[in-house]
Structure 1
Amino acid sequence: MEKKIIYCASILFILVQFNGFSQRIPSNIDEDQVPPFVLTHPLKYADGKKVKNIKEWENSRRPEILNLFKDHIYGEYPGASVIDFKVVKEDEVFAGKGKRKQVQIYLGKSKELFLNVLLYLPISKAPVPVFAGLNFCGNHCTTFDSLIFLNDNWIADNHKGVSNNTASDSSRGSQAHRWPYEEIISRGYGVATLYYGELEPDHPEGWKNGVRSLLKEELRIEPDKWAAIGAWAWGLSRVQDYLEIDKDVDAKRTIVQGHSRLGKAALWAASNDTRFAAVISNNSGEGGAALSKRWFGETIEHLNSYFPHWFVQKYNDYSGKAEELPIDQHLLLASIAPRPIYVTSASEDLWADPKGEFLALREAGKVYKLYKIAGLAIKEQPQVEMPVGKKIRYHMRKGKHDIQLYDWIQFLDFADYIFKEK
């Protein structure tokens, strides 16, 4: 996308909000202080009637759930805009073991509005499955490779090598540990990534220079009918559009994945776009995989106070009143059934509520059971670095809020299972 206007005042506003509200928004990280809560059964309609079979689930209950999430949390999920693609640069990498493509996805009738996708693929005679996910600070920060185009969009100053919301060469590779490209292609998989800020800069005024504003006429949707999480998720669907025309890719086996807020986006993308074969949520927390009605870690009130642009206005009604929300995140996970899902946590990431993520996934298994797919077989959260489950899988890595090589090794094992061991 074209260079964005710098919104320093908006970021200052968020910082002031964080420092001020953090003093008065109640929070809890003590398991003994979690009050009782009630979850809606995924196989019961809003009026209390029971879902009897798969047909009812797919034709009635699942749409009911998605509409509730659209109305109360994420907003609408528009279709594709006029779209075109161009492979700008293609090179051999990793001593001939792989290839790298830098692709532009054009979103509108003109070619002024585009996304930059970085795609790594193993050398293969047959099309390969791909992991597709967003990154936090530009494709250049996912690798030390100097041939990756330096992103010139607005980037938050809290990233290494970024000043005045502009990336410099010193930011190259700053998050390379989160993207072990060579390890991924060595296992026979590709990986596609895109900077999320190209879709919408991550601050309250970002929508003015993002797809919600710039494409509102083509998409026929007003900016306030969806939100930033939705815009980022929508971008993942546009990556899938490209993957479907790339002859090196088996787009029927795309796994959408994301970390933290981008894990929230990955889940919302998978819920709405059934072309994604599976989804991985890493440390997505509140508004992602973690239960909202469980008072632990980050809450709806925190999200609405610090990140008012992530969700639709209606979500504010549930700040401090999560019990009144007619849905919870286990229903979002359930809406992905019968496609495989992997939810991961980190032992020190209490703010994301690891137990709440586990419990949500366990509850979602009730829908997978309709399809004769086994859910999580255990009632209690597993020990650190002991993955559980098959097509519904969970692990809790030792350490902090991050995505690390350990996680990726599990993701690759998961992909092997769902694609190669049927």
Structure 2
Amino acid sequence: MMHYLKFTFVTTAILLVVASTIAAAEPADTNYDEKKVPPYELPKLLIDKAGQSVGRSEWDSHRRAEILHLFEESVYGKTPKRQLSVRYEVIDSDANAFNGRATRQQIAAFFGEKQYRIDILLYIPNKTKGPVPAFLGMNFYGNHTIHSDPKIIQRGKKKARGSFSKRWQAELIIDHGYALATIHRDQVDPDNYRNGFTDGIHPLFYANGQKKPKPDEWGSIGAWAWSLSRVLDYLETNKQVNASHVAVIGHSRLGKTALWAGAQDPRFAMVISNNSGCGGAALYRRCYGERIHHMFKPLGYWFCTNHRQYQKKEHELPVDQHMLLALIAPRPLYVASATADRWADPKGEFLAAKHASPVYDLFDTSSLSGHEMPKPDQPIHSTIGYHLRTGKHDMTAYDWRQYIKFANRFLKQE
């Protein structure tokens, strides 16, 4: 009898843990029913604060800046204007990576008086002439996880070496003539709030006595985006990389980051969002899948504190994500979704890209204006690219083949 009771207790405990995990992943009020998407009206892209219609010149002169400011105030927070001193130290350079097909470089970047360190991992193809275009993205669990290369410096032991190599496809990228640069998100700002904003780069910018960002100042996404621009700074000093042909890329929350980095920094020649969902490429006002209040309960530190006031009030936001995507125009933009990733709202991601099209049309580029949402695995490669991949929330070889093909058109102009 005691054995039975013990078994029952353990089994019940396991079920409760599983149930709580599922509930944490997908809260009870998550909507996956298109019939329950509320009626909504998107903020106007091409009507400025004064209520005037906007053309190409007005977009360049003030409307783009208006929208960027609204995102700073209500979503991601303001990025500090102050520049830190930086020192780069190449701590590893090996031309025999990937069986001689690539040169691996590892660069330590030291910022500010405190010499805050961020490690850059860079692979450059050997069989190319002149500076090469590049993909730049942030990784989740450490540079050593993107490939099994034993020479990659390992900082932290949370994940095994090469454990996310399928997500990165480093050798495929190299074999197509692109460099690949990456940094670890937690070196910039740890993806948790256990220590507040005290254990990442934020304190380097605090005023005297400040202990956390102000309500309209940057959260983690802002900090991560800042760091991607700092890696681009380094690439501009590397003669083997064509820094004017760099695509910034990210998956999931780091897809949100790539979009915000690309919106703020026009030096990025291309922006790629992979399954970025709410706060990324998906429309807030659809209230489908992940929503603001879902993110804020465990992950509010991603955004500025001001964003909190729009929980369950998405319709009151002065912006929506089609406006974020429009900030990237006229540069090439790629948005990707996955069929099983309802949490990220694939339809909302596509619609945001489609509703960003009027700004791309101002620049006479090929947009998604005339397109309907494609069937799975049928990519659209206009200046705004889109695909819906069969499968789950991930970044796969299929995704990378599309991004490389897209980049061939715009970064290599093949």
With normalisation by structure 2, the TM-score equals 0.90
Return the match for 1:416 from 396, 401, 408.
408
Point out 4+ residue stretches in structure 1 off by more than 4 angstroms.
15-25
Structure 2 counterpart of 1:26, one-letter code: D
Instruction: Give the alignment of 1:336-375 within 5 angstroms.
Output: 336-375=328-367
Q: What residue in structure 2 maps to residue 173 of structure 1? A: 162
- Percent identity for Structure 1 against Structure 2: 44
Tell me the matched-pair count: 390
SS of the residue corresponding to residue 174 of structure 1 reads coil
Segment of structure 1 superposing worse, 28-37 or 295-304: 28-37
Structure 1 counterpart of 2:62, one-letter code: S
- Structure-2 change in CA distance of 1:397 and 1:16 (3 Å): closer
Structure 2 counterpart of 1:137, one-letter code: Y
CA distance in 1, matches of 2:258, 2:289: 21
Segment of structure 1 superposing worse, 79-88 or 230-239: 79-88
Shift of 1:60: 0.8
Give CA deviations for 1:285-313 in whole Å, capped at 9, x if unaligned: 00000000012100111111120111111
User: 2:90 aligned with 1:87, yes or no?
Assistant: yes
User: 2:74 aligned with 1:66, yes or no?
Assistant: no
Give CA deviations for 1:333-378 in whole Å, capped at 9, x if unaligned: 0011111100000010000000000000001010010000121154
User: 2:137 aligned with 1:140, yes or no?
Assistant: no
The answer for unaligned runs of 5 or more in structure 1 is 1-14, 153-165
Segment of structure 1 superposing worse, 387-396 or 226-235: 387-396
For the Cα contact (< 8 Å) 2:133–2:246, is it kept in 1? yes
For the Cα contact (< 8 Å) 1:198–1:210, is it kept in 2? yes
Segment of structure 1 superposing worse, 325-334 or 301-310: 301-310
Q: What residue in structure 1 maps to residue 109 of structure 2? A: 105
Structure 1 counterpart of 2:363, one-letter code: Y
Return the match for 1:75 from 74, 77, 80.
77
Give CA deviations for 1:121-158 in whole Å, capped at 9, x if unaligned: 10133000110000000001111111111113xxxxxx
SS of the residue corresponding to residue 144 of structure 1 reads coil
Give CA deviations for 1:69-95 in whole Å, capped at 9, x if unaligned: 000010012243111211110112122
Q: What residue in structure 1 maps to residue 132 of structure 2? A: 128
Alpha-carbon RMSD across the aligned residues, in angstroms, is: 2.2
User: 2:187 aligned with 1:203, yes or no?
Assistant: no
Give CA deviations for 1:174-228 in whole Å, capped at 9, x if unaligned: 111011111111111001000001111011235210111234359x996232111
Q: What residue in structure 2 maps to residue 114 of structure 1? A: 117
- Structure-2 change in CA distance of 1:18 and 1:415 (3 Å): same
SS of the residue corresponding to residue 285 of structure 2 reads coil
The answer for unaligned runs of 5 or more in structure 2 is 1-17
CA distance in 2, matches of 1:377, 1:332: 17
Structure 2 counterpart of 1:56, one-letter code: E
User: 2:203 aligned with 1:213, yes or no?
Assistant: yes
For the Cα contact (< 8 Å) 1:142–1:174, is it kept in 2? yes
- Structure-2 change in CA distance of 1:279 and 1:384 (3 Å): same
- Structure-2 change in CA distance of 1:314 and 1:110 (3 Å): closer
SS of the residue corresponding to residue 293 of structure 1 reads helix
For the Cα contact (< 8 Å) 1:139–1:149, is it kept in 2? yes
**Bigger radius of gyration:** 2
For the Cα contact (< 8 Å) 2:271–2:334, is it kept in 1? yes
User: 2:390 aligned with 1:402, yes or no?
Assistant: no
- Structure-2 change in CA distance of 1:171 and 1:343 (3 Å): same
Return the match for 1:150 from 154, 159, 177.
154
Structure 1 counterpart of 2:109, one-letter code: I
For the Cα contact (< 8 Å) 1:122–1:190, is it kept in 2? yes
For the Cα contact (< 8 Å) 1:140–1:173, is it kept in 2? yes
Shift of 1:389: 3.3
Instruction: Give the alignment of 1:8-407 within 5 angstroms.
Output: 26-51=29-54, 53-79=55-81, 80-91=83-94, 92-111=96-115, 113-123=116-126, 124-152=128-156, 166-167=157-158, 171-204=160-193, 205-216=195-206, 223-224=213-214, 225-407=217-399
For the Cα contact (< 8 Å) 1:297–1:352, is it kept in 2? yes
Structure 1 counterpart of 2:283, one-letter code: L
With normalisation by structure 1, the TM-score equals 0.88
